[in-house]
Structure 1
Amino acid sequence: MGYAVVLGEALIDLLDAECEGRPVFRQAIGGGPLNVAVGVARLGGTAQFVGSLGDDVLAGRIRDFLADAGVGLAGAVTVPAPTTLAVTTHTGAEPDFRFYGEPPSYGLLAADDLDVALVDGADVLYCGSIVLLSPPTLAAARRAWSLAPGLRVFDPNVRPRLLAGPAALAGLREVVVEFVAGAHLVKLSSADAALLWPDEPVEGVAAYLRELGAGTVVVTLGADGALVAAGPDPVRVPAPKVRAVDATGAGDSVMAALVAELLVDGEPTGPADWHRRVAFALRVAGLVCESPGGAVAMPTRDEVRRRFAD
């Protein structure tokens, strides 16, 4: 089994909490791509995290966390910036993020910083998320995308708070279209789809992305499961019934599970195989939703089997 390169951001989430009756922030290690890398490792795959990390104590904690999770750091670079903070509040189980830190520590990986040999040896390359809004790291992601010899997977993971108006949204949409055209797999949420292509049903968005060149498109639908466009007609795969307490990292865990399956079995041979793999990924996400936190909630295969033994 080979390895996956996950190119994107790592940061610190500050989560709304309470201590002795007073509001506090609980520190947690986060970032969608970091969650994916940790999720792959927890499911038995080999993952290498590629991105820029700050030069402070918080960045040291991120490095230690990734190393303890079994995620490789050969492609991570240290930059002279404080670690970006994402203040996370909730309406129900769904998180809302506001980002603090300029320049963003996660957005300073330049094209020349890219470990070309690491990318060249990868069976799967993941790109996406908020690093696409940072010109240096967008250039690094484009370089990696053009070099990758294996399977390319993409997740826009849109954060509306980082988009300063219609022009920024239009610019991001162009970047998304560019990466989708060369992707073997695109995973996005229904919220991503609604923001990027408003007034278009998810079936229409999935069909459009496949017309652009994406091999397979998976749109996560929260408690309703996922829409999978892998054959002539899109299919909805239901999610298992769970006791959700925190949806942080759920979408990332779907991507992590799909990447882990690609590392084990390669690209599916047909739509039915995709449907089976997405059903497994939704069980992984269901288990993540039953625990607070993102990366720390990523389960092992044994934990998934035990939880959904029926």
Structure 2
Amino acid sequence: MTADPSKPAIAVLGSINMDLVTTTEQRPAPGETVLGTGFAMVPGGKGANQAIAAQRAGGAVEFLGAVGDDVFAGALRGVLNDSGVGTGRLRTVTGPSGIAAIVVDAGGENSIIVVGGANAAMTALTDADLAVIAAADILLCQLEIPVDTVAAAVMHASANRTVVVLNPSPAQHLMADLWAHVDVAVVNSGEARHLGSDLEPVAHLVITHGADGATYRGPNGRELSQSSPRVEAIDTTGAGDTFTGALAAAWHRGPEAALAWASTAGALATTTLGASSSIPTQERIEAALPPR
């Protein structure tokens, strides 16, 4: 566990991709060709986005994942290093890194196709990986790597009293007994509807509602609602990941403070094109935090 309770040690197990981002006035309908207005390559992936967000929002993060041996690998590793995220457990495997093809329209909404690449090679955890998880204050996971690996990490974290924060996205039904070992689940409103009663065993449930903020359900029926700062949204890509990473970094402050911190961070992430490039720093979040 970290010696500084204000800077929690967070192990993030998840995906890392190169996002190929195309902007256009309107996303194409099936069979339609439209003209784009711009293109950018931005490191992303739900795991990497959340790791960077947690680090910038005040955590001390170690990333567990995989890149390929292709042209994107150096940039992907570099963006984590440049953000201060630990990469000692980022492995390199033969083959391509993960990519995401993203189309963003003039309203900031997006469509995304993810090709897992090296992320699919995360089929087992090493002893060194397990040691990082056991020593962390928080384990943060998503579902863009093999689910069995996520399940093994969750069970190991739970056995070592590491708080488990799970963003079950892309949404899918998991083993029933796994949910009982999840301390905090973070889902958007669509994922919450899809998963339904699966989420009932989770002690702390956070549901994001886009520009409308987030809600929280905790033990003993406790409920909270948090609005988001009003911003001019340019690109919503990575906003949910920013919310989740910031929530993990602030969880030690309690659900109410963490919800406000995360909602502010998520809103700020929509004001810049791209995923990792849009993630705000702790100073920006503090400056934009709504008065309490």
CA distance in 2, matches of 1:178, 1:25: 43
Q: 1:246 to 1:57 in 2, by over 3 A?
A: same
Residue of structure 2 in register with 1:28 after alignment? 42
Give, as a single letter, the amino acid of the residue that structure 1 aligns with 2:119. Answer: Y
Which of 54, 75, 83 is matched with 2:68 structurally? 54
SS at match of 2:169: coil
Residue of structure 1 in register with 2:109 after alignment? 94
Q: 1:209 to 1:25 in 2, by over 3 A?
A: same
Per-residue CA shift, 1:248-301, capped at 9, x if unaligned? 111111111111113xx36x3xxxxx1232012111111111111111111112
Matched, 1:107 2:120: yes
SS at match of 1:63: helix
Question: Which 10-residue stretch deviates more, 140-149 or 277-286?
Answer: 140-149
* CA apart distance, 1:100: 3.7
Residue of structure 2 in register with 1:201 after alignment? none
CA distance in 1, matches of 2:178, 2:140: 11
Q: Is the 8 A contact 2:155 2:178 kept in 1?
A: no
Residue of structure 1 in register with 2:170 after alignment? 158
* CA apart distance, 1:218: 0.3
Q: Is the 8 A contact 2:10 2:62 kept in 1?
A: yes
Q: Is the 8 A contact 1:111 1:141 kept in 2?
A: no
Matched, 1:219 2:225: no
Matched, 1:250 2:239: yes
Residue of structure 2 in register with 1:297 after alignment? 278
- Structure number with the higher helix fraction is 1
CA distance in 2, matches of 1:27, 1:4: 27
* CA apart distance, 1:304: 1.7
* CA apart distance, 1:233: 4.8
CA distance in 1, matches of 2:94, 2:143: 22
Give, as a single letter, the amino acid of the residue that structure 2 aligns with 1:155. Answer: N
Per-residue CA shift, 1:118-161, capped at 9, x if unaligned? 11211100122321xx3xxx3322222121121001001227xx
CA distance in 1, matches of 2:37, 2:209: 32
TM-score by length of 2: 0.84
Which of 124, 143, 149 is matched with 1:140 structurally? 149
Residue of structure 2 in register with 1:173 after alignment? 173
Identity level (%): 28
Residue of structure 2 in register with 1:166 after alignment? none
Residue of structure 2 in register with 1:186 after alignment? 185
Give, as a single letter, the amino acid of the residue that structure 2 aligns with 1:11. Answer: N
- The two structures, once aligned, show a CA RMSD in angstroms of 2.2
Q: Is the 8 A contact 2:22 2:36 kept in 1?
A: no
SS at match of 2:174: helix
Q: Is the 8 A contact 2:14 2:47 kept in 1?
A: yes
Give, as a single letter, the amino acid of the residue that structure 2 aligns with 1:190. Answer: S
SS at match of 2:101: strand
Matched, 1:75 2:63: no
Q: Is the 8 A contact 2:173 2:198 kept in 1?
A: no
Gaps of 5+ in 2: 25-34
Give, as a single letter, the amino acid of the residue that structure 1 aligns with 2:174. Answer: E
Q: 1:112 to 1:221 in 2, by over 3 A?
A: closer
Per-residue CA shift, 1:184-238, capped at 9, x if unaligned? 11000112223x24xxxxxxx4xx45532x1100000011111210141533322
SS at match of 2:144: helix
